[in-house]
A and B are shown apart, each in its own frame.
Chain A
Amino acid sequence: KQEVTQIPAALSVPEGENLVLNCSFTDSAIYNLQWFRQDPGKGLTSLLLIQSSQREQTSGRLNASLDKSSGRSTLYIAASQPGDSATYLCARRGGSEKLVFGKGTKLTVNP
């Protein structure tokens, strides 16, 4: 069974801290991995997409890496801000078009 695990389920940090969110998956046959942000009562917003041929992607203060051999991806957030507070989900796409989602990490950045 394909599984995607995100640890921790919740994280609270002070403003300005650099932080790392973790995502692990059981099947290393991966097509791409995508990180999303979800605000309460809202849909999912795509943050970064890493194709299987890539090792990392960057957008502003966000950097996502992919290590297929270990079945892990990390999302690095630099200089966190209260506006970064949200739930962050990773999703793995295998050979089909299905994305398998983790349960997410709920991030709170305290001013």
Chain B
Amino acid sequence: DAGVIQSPRHEVTEMGQEVTLRCKPISGHNSLFWYRQTMMRGLELLIYFNNNVPIDDSGMPEDRFSAKMPNASFSTLKIQPSEPRDSAVYFCASSPRGGINTGELFFGEGSRLTVL
């Protein structure tokens, strides 16, 4: 399996622009998570989905952030409008349900976002 695939790997944009980050989870995994990592705050959970349904979005910092999962193999995280304080590495992770690895989290390589 190719693992969790994220794109773009790097994004540099100007304040006010829309940013869309993409994620393809591992096939067969039921849960998908979006995390943000900064030096100051470490890893923070933004939102997670079970079977394509958003379960908890309490970590989404503001209404400027939105996430969708239209099907089991694709999710997006959108920031509109972006601000410099959104600069961070955004990780997508997926997790299987059932079996010996139930609940184990597998991460993508991340999308490094810089907002100027």
Q: What is the minimal beta-carbon distance from B78 to any residue of chain A, in angstroms?
A: 21
SS of B interface (majority) = strand
Q: What is the minimal beta-carbon distance from B15 to any residue of chain A, in angstroms?
A: 24
User: Is the C-beta of A89 less than 8 angstroms from some C-beta in chain B?
Assistant: yes
A72 CA to B55 CA, complexed, in Å? 28
Give the residues from 72 to 103 in chain B that come closer than 8 angstroms, CB to CB, to chain A.
Answer: 91, 93, 95, 101, 103
Instruction: Judge whether B43 and A98 touch: CB under 8 Å.
Output: no
Nearest CB in chain A to that of B91: its residue: A43
Q: Are A34 and B91 also in contact (CB < 8 A) when A101-B42, A103-B42, A104-B42 are?
A: no
Give the residues from 31 to 49 in chain A that come closer than 8 angstroms, CB to CB, to chain B.
Answer: 31-32, 34, 36, 42-46, 49
Instruction: Judge whether A91 and B42 touch: CB under 8 Å.
Output: no
Q: What is the minimal beta-carbon distance from A37 to any residue of chain B, in angstroms?
A: 11
Number of interface residues of B (CB under 8 A): 22
Q: Are A43 and B107 also in contact (CB < 8 A) when A96-B56, A98-B45, A104-B42 are?
A: yes
Give the residues from 94 to 109 in chain A that come closer than 8 angstroms, CB to CB, to chain B.
Answer: 96-104
Instruction: Judge whether B31 and A97 touch: CB under 8 Å.
Output: yes
Instruction: Judge whether B110 and A43 touch: CB under 8 Å.
Output: yes
A91 CA to B107 CA, complexed, in Å? 13
User: Is the C-beta of A93 less than 8 angstroms from some C-beta in chain B?
Assistant: yes
Instruction: Judge whether B91 and A44 touch: CB under 8 Å.
Output: yes
User: Is the C-beta of B11 less than 8 angstroms from some C-beta in chain A?
Assistant: no
Instruction: Judge whether A93 and B43 touch: CB under 8 Å.
Output: no
A102 CA to B109 CA, complexed, in Å? 19
Nearest CB in chain B to that of A42: its residue: B109
Contact residues in A for B56 (Cβ distance below 8 Å):
96-98
Contact residues in B for A93 (Cβ distance below 8 Å):
103
User: Which of B31, B48, B55, B105 meets A46, CB within 8 Å?
Assistant: B105
Which positions in B face A, CB cutoff 8 Å?
A: 4, 31, 33, 42-43, 45, 48, 50, 55-56, 91, 93, 95, 101, 103-110
8 contacts between A and B (CB under 8 A): A42-B109, A43-B4, A43-B91, A44-B91, A46-B107, A51-B103, A99-B45, A104-B42
